[in-house]
Structure 1
Amino acid sequence: MTTGSARIMVWDAAIRLVHWLMVVLAPLLWWTAEEGYMDWHKGFGLTMFGLVLFRLIWGLIGTWTARFLPMVRQIGSIKSYIGTLRSREHGATFGHSPLAVLSVFALLLALTTQVTTGLFSVDVDGLESGPLAVLVSFDTGRQFAEFHEFNFNLLAGLIGLHITAIAVYRFVLREKLVRPMITGSRPRDDFSTAQLPDNRLRLLPLIFAAGLSLACVITVVNFG
């Protein structure tokens, strides 16, 4: 790789901001729940709800590396990709690698489940509840709460696997994944493909995704 090679944008600013806010919020949500700071927990939970919703919308209308359809197309090449990892012949992937796609989908599913169950959860005494708990019975709200707790353990396990995979890529495969998620860019020479997808960030889809996510959060808050 040439030291002075041109850099190209891989991860847009929106997806990077959402990613790092989720990284910060996940331990805060665990800590506030453990310590009983439920007002803070609800606030952080609604923030996470907005971030997850934005990421789901952005996966449909965002930049190329953010969209779900190109990721789904990667799944079919998992077997061959694992083969390149074993032989240490893998190259940098523009966006998510086939294995990373599985991680993204698993984490988003767990996060979506977590925020959804939190919205309907009711505690044992019925004193603390999610903003949409009024739509379900007390017993149903308790079931949501129990699954909310169970799913967090699953989410924590997935986060642990995600961190382990990043460490393996860094120290075993010698590929730095964290820096591009901070800066958004990688050297053009990292990619052997002559023509890369159009990955430009467009303002109107960004405004729409952010506006719709914020409107949904406000609606849920006012409903509660």
Structure 2
Amino acid sequence: MSEPAAGPVRLWDAPTRIFHWSLVVLILVSWLTAGKQMDVHRLSGYAVLGLVVFRLWWGVAGGSTARFASFLKGPKTTLAYVRGLGARTSSDIAGHNPMGAWSVVLMILVLAVQVTLGLFAVDIDGIESGPLSDLVDFDTGRAMAEAHELSFRILQGLIVLHLAAIAYYRFWKNENLVAAMITGRRRFESAVVPLKSAPLWSLAVGVALAVAVAYAAAKGFRF
């Protein structure tokens, strides 16, 4: 078991960081290609679906700081954390703080809804459509497309809140969350338990699941 340590501490493993920055790129690609380059847009969506599947797996069998069980807290703990946000002192939480933890879960859920709706969506002309659109009628497919767009607006709102939180922690609490997500390390003043890495077999299973689900979705789950 990892021993508590102060100073620069291993916080995020490579799979978690790759997931994070890949998601940033893919959301941007999906946004810029929507309604324009639909072939690229669909490929990006399948990749996002794969990332969501991987993150769900990694939240159960990944590195210690990536596991949902390690960072999801109840309402009482979360509210207590929110009440202390005004303090300028940096937090000594090795991983997601209680409020950030729930924002992570919410973003994953919105992304899951977003890509699922896209699989059934049909455009106004009925030309561009998701791989599962033939399972629903035209009106339902159009409703899915509109909900797909609405869910993206919700996702954009969550991203704005995420960026605002990063700025708040950087300039008010002097915590560089971006650097930690790049290097995987963060300096702590008090002793915290560092990251405990997951075994390679767990990473291999997560990647295999992600690729399999993304490929199956691209084929309309027909083989």
Structure 2 length normalisation: TM-score? 0.90
**RMSD of equivalent CA atoms:** 1.8
- Partner Cα distance (1:75, 1:12) in 2: 27
- Partner Cα distance (2:75, 2:198) in 1: 25
- Partner Cα distance (2:89, 2:44) in 1: 42
- Partner Cα distance (2:115, 2:162) in 1: 20
Q: Larger RCO: Structure 1 or Structure 2 (Cα < 8 Å, ≥ 6 residues apart)?
A: 2
Query: Structure 1 residues 125, 149: CA separation in 2 closer, same or farther (over 3 Å shift)?
Result: same
Q: Which runs of 5+ in 2 are unaligned?
A: 1-5
Would the aligned equivalents of 2:60 and 2:67 in 1 still touch at CA under 8 Å? yes
The size of the alignment, in residue pairs, is: 216
What residue in structure 2 maps to residue 99 of structure 1? 99
Instruction: Identify the range of structure 1 (75-84 vs 127-136) with the bigger mean alpha-carbon deviation.
Output: 75-84
Q: Secondary structure at the match of 2:84?
A: helix
Provide Cα deviations, 1:96-138, integer angstroms capped at 9, x if missing partner: 0011112111211111111111111111111111112122222
Equivalence map 1:108-127=2 (5 Å): 108-127=108-127
- Partner Cα distance (1:182, 1:166) in 2: 14
What residue in structure 2 maps to residue 192 of structure 1? 190
Matched AA of 1:192: S
Would the aligned equivalents of 1:94 and 1:191 in 2 still touch at CA under 8 Å? no
Would the aligned equivalents of 1:74 and 1:101 in 2 still touch at CA under 8 Å? no
Q: Secondary structure at the match of 2:186?
A: strand
Would the aligned equivalents of 1:75 and 1:101 in 2 still touch at CA under 8 Å? no
Would the aligned equivalents of 1:78 and 1:99 in 2 still touch at CA under 8 Å? yes
Provide Cα deviations, 1:156-181, integer angstroms capped at 9, x if missing partner: 01100100110011011111111010
Matched AA of 1:136: V
Provide Cα deviations, 1:69-88, integer angstroms capped at 9, x if missing partner: 22223654122222332233
Would the aligned equivalents of 1:60 and 1:67 in 2 still touch at CA under 8 Å? yes
Runs of 4+ with deviation above 4 angstroms: none
What residue in structure 2 maps to residue 221 of structure 1? 218
**1:21 partnered with 2:22:** yes
What residue in structure 2 maps to residue 65 of structure 1? 65
Larger proportion of helix = 1
- Partner Cα distance (2:76, 2:51) in 1: 28
What residue in structure 1 maps to residue 205 of structure 2? 208
Instruction: Identify the range of structure 1 (64-73 vs 210-219) with the bigger mean alpha-carbon deviation.
Output: 64-73
Provide Cα deviations, 1:165-202, integer angstroms capped at 9, x if missing partner: 10011011111111010011123xx05246x2662131
**1:129 partnered with 2:126:** no
- Partner Cα distance (2:89, 2:11) in 1: 21
Matched AA of 1:13: A
Matched AA of 2:22: L
Instruction: Identify the range of structure 1 (97-106 vs 11-20) with the bigger mean alpha-carbon deviation.
Output: 97-106
